[in-house]
Chains A and B, each alone.
Chain A
Amino acid sequence: MLQYIAKRLAGLVPTLIIVAIMVFMFLHLLPGDPARLAAGMDATPETVELVRKDLGLDRPLHEQFARYVTGVLRGDFGRSLRTKRPVSQEIGERFAPTFWLTVASMTWSVVFGLIIGMLSAVWRNRWPDRLGMTLAVSGISFPAFALGMVLMQIFSVQLGWLPTVGADSARHYVLPSITLGAAVAAIMARFTRSSFVDILGDDYIRTARAKGLSERIVVMKHGLRNALIPVVTMMGLQFGFLLGGSIVVEVVFNWPGLGRLLVDAVDMRDYPVIQALVLLFSLEFILINLIVDVLYGLINPVIRYR
């Protein structure tokens, strides 16, 4: 097992190098001159040249790339073109709010999604199923920005129970995590349901029932464990997406997270920030996939790693 993890971690390195090269290439293909954008509307050509020099964009591309790679190897991701602060600092400040928001939304949405999915599967095509799936479809179809605004209007403006924007206290997490988690909960519910429905028809479930086990033990012990495998995969994927920072939710709730940083960075062609963010997102996905694979083994001991 440990050997397996070590092998996977070693495999990380080439993947990240390839990602770094691709991102660097694609970014410089984007239209728009970052020096011109940074210099602004009123700038004269000499100013734009000065800004270009200041940002190090006047050197040939391969030189810029070499500088970038050597910097990254030393743990230096450069400075943001927009704010001139170190990229690691820019990202560092925003990582925690996005991470905790992701954890908060994932927690409630997974619990909720699993319960609804299970109930729907057990009472398939009866009213709990209909109700659950109606909720799920609404959750997927209702756009996050609209949900966020409606929630804010009701709970902050009208009732005054919760703060509107910011990320300073636990109460600040309530509305954004509901908004962010709604779609995930819906996806989880549908996934759990379909996976459960498949398994409840399998032979070993029939055997378990024939043995005279109570329905609860059949569902919770024999059903849930096996149904969880695809659900965990989905959970990992969703977690990865949310960690990238939801642009919509972060904008609506003025969340100081990575999603807003990415939008700002793309707007201003802030190359160093975009590069570091994409690398970070790739790393997150790879790590999450690894964790998911390890979880498989814990859920179903039949799965072995070599």
Chain B
Amino acid sequence: MKPLSRPVFAGVLALCAFAAGPAFAAKDVVFAVASTFTTTDPYDANDTLSQAMAKSFYEGLFGFDKDMKMVPVLAESYSASPDGLVYTIKLKRGIKFHDGTDFKADAVKANLDRVTNPENKLKRYGLYNNNIAKTEVVDDYTARITLKTAFSPFINQLAHPSTVMISPTALQKYGNKDIAFHPVGTGPFKFVEWKQTDYLKVAKNENYWRKGYPKVDTITWKPVVDNNSRAALMQTGEAHFTFPLPYELAEVLKGKPDLEVVAAPSIVLRYLSMNTQQKPFDNPKVRQAIAYAINKDALAKVAFNGYAEAAQGVVPQGVEYSIKIGAWPNDLAKAKQLMSEAGYPNGFETELWSAYNHSTAQKVTQFLQQQLQQIGIRTKITLLEAGQRVEKVESWPDPKTAPVRLYYVGWSTSTGEADWAIRPLLGGESWPPKLFNTAYYKSDKVDADIRNAQLTTSSGEKAKLYEDAQKTIWQDAPWAPLVVEKLLSAHNKKLSGVYVIPDASFNFTEVDLK
């Protein structure tokens, strides 16, 4: 081989330097996530992940920041009529959809009309049709939404990641179903391609209305099902961010110099519900005894590797109008005394079901079984598979014969507001098969609080009503509140601006790569 002549060599060097120059390096970010996306249409999605991904190209009128505070996004401001029935929303000006259509009030109407029309058979139909009576265009930048009955958390519902603005032109062009394969929004990234088996890719929207954003060129969303494989991807640098990260792997990745593991606070509450319509759980003393018997701190350590905290109330901190009551004390003597008073000094036998069959749920139920044994309650554990859960718990037709007794389950309040944290889980009208009151709890006081809070528009009034409801529930103990989880994610130190927000969705408007 002949050595390269000097000028050629210098030229090659210069070329290399040019190619590697920071100004020309494309910033391509890869997110490794845990499951495949079901759709890109947030109105037809029921999983947090698909909705989080859709935030790449879609934005709503309102949204949540990284601490789950509600902020206006495409809306400028709003006002509610005194009776809480009519919401007038002013829109930001000068925003364009990716297809060049101007964002105006007709988009708001088109999107809300679409989801409230039963013909379109969208999965989020129920959420909107319950309360929206009609949507009108007042002028180009003002929309008016009229509700069927007053519903004070309505703006929170508009901030929910499913309420996004899809280009009305694109909706017309692709139709109700095909829009899922051709998403057109106002967001920071444009849709590029979706290879269902492999990845979904989005690229920078050059005309994004927030100047200076986005700071990266592309994002590739890569579903990788296996936890260990996702961790491997992070270690090789093939992915920059991953969520969720299982507890066991946190320790492994923590030791790597170029990775950072983050444990973020969440509003994911884990609890043990007890069927209050059935003996012996109809007796509040038995329910309280169970709550006293469980050591929540130990549970957090044993089953969650310390990445959880004892629940401080009925509604997790971070949800609007939640109150902090303090963890339910772990007091065995008191638990035994309550059991005797209730007439079960020697305990009883019962069923303990889990809504999940993953390994964490297995640890949790085994721990609960051992704790309850201390007060004489002997439990038979069953970890329900998704189909069984639906059949035996969520869609059981007759409350009188419901086979559920002790039930380990969790809830994340996707609207960030107390109504959706209490009503579906503890409202008297939310017994399965309607919603998820698996304790079959019914308290006239709580029901009245929920109803009145929906009707009032005064935030002070609402706070008072929800406080009363939470305290009443705490005393009645239809649940033994267990823990609030922490959300573990890992990212490459070169990546910044990606946050897991408390409802397990992502915020990545600030995403940047060094």
By a beta-carbon cutoff of 8 Å, the part of chain A in contact with chain B is 30-33, 36-48, 50-51, 53-54, 82-85, 90, 93-94, 97, 149, 152-153, 156-157, 160, 163-167, 251-254, 256, 260, 264, 267-269
Contact = CB atoms under 8 A, between A and B. Distances in A.
B386 A41 contact: no
A50 to B, nearest CB: 5
A83 B39 contact: yes
A256 B238 CA distance: 17
A199 to B, nearest CB: 43
B232 A152 contact: yes
Nearest to A55: B121
B94 interface: no
A256 B388 CA distance: 28
Interface of B: 36, 38-39, 46-47, 118, 121-127, 129-130, 177, 180, 196-198, 223-226, 228-229, 232-233, 235-236, 238, 385-392, 394-395, 414, 420, 424, 433-436
By Cβ-Cβ distance, the 3 closest A-B pairs, closest first, are: A32-B387, A40-B46, A256-B197
B123 A38 contact: yes
A191 B293 CA distance: 58
Nearest to A254: B224
B391 A32 contact: yes
Contacts of A38: 46, 123
Contact of B229 (A37, A84, A93, A252): A252
A152 B122 CA distance: 41
B197 A39 contact: no
Contacts of B126: 43-47, 50
Contacts of A160: 236
Contacts of B180: 84
B47 to A, nearest CB: 7
Contacts of B125: 46-47, 50
Contact of A51 (B121, B390, B395, B414): B121
Given A44-B434, A47-B123, A153-B232, A90 B196 contact: yes
Given A93-B197, A157-B232, A254-B226, A42 B388 contact: no
Nearest to B47: A40
Nearest to B178: A84
A128 B247 CA distance: 45
A95 B274 CA distance: 46
Contacts, number: 121
Contacts of B36: 264
Contacts of B130: 44
Nearest to A40: B46
Given A43-B126, A260-B225, A36 B394 contact: yes
B233 A164 contact: yes
24 contacts: A31-B387, A31-B388, A32-B391, A33-B390, A33-B391, A36-B390, A36-B394, A37-B386, A37-B387, A41-B436, A42-B420, A44-B130, A45-B126, A46-B126, A50-B125, A54-B121, A83-B38, A84-B39, A93-B197, A156-B236, A157-B236, A165-B224, A165-B233, A268-B386
A125 B214 CA distance: 69
Given A32-B388, A260-B225, 4 more contacts: A46-B125, A85-B196, A157-B232, A165-B233
A206 B11 CA distance: 74
A260 B35 CA distance: 11
A298 B394 CA distance: 59
B489 to A, nearest CB: 19
B121 A32 contact: no
A85 B46 CA distance: 17
Contacts of A41: 46, 436
Contact of B123 (A51, A256, A267): A51
Nearest to A266: B387
B148 to A, nearest CB: 14
A85 B39 CA distance: 10
B235 A157 contact: yes
B115 to A, nearest CB: 11
B209 to A, nearest CB: 30
A256 B224 CA distance: 10
B257 to A, nearest CB: 14
A251 B238 CA distance: 17
Contacts of B414: 42
Contacts of A40: 46-47, 123
Contacts of A252: 226, 228-229
A152 B198 contact: no
B70 to A, nearest CB: 18
Contacts of B197: 93-94, 97, 256
Contacts of B127: 42, 44, 47
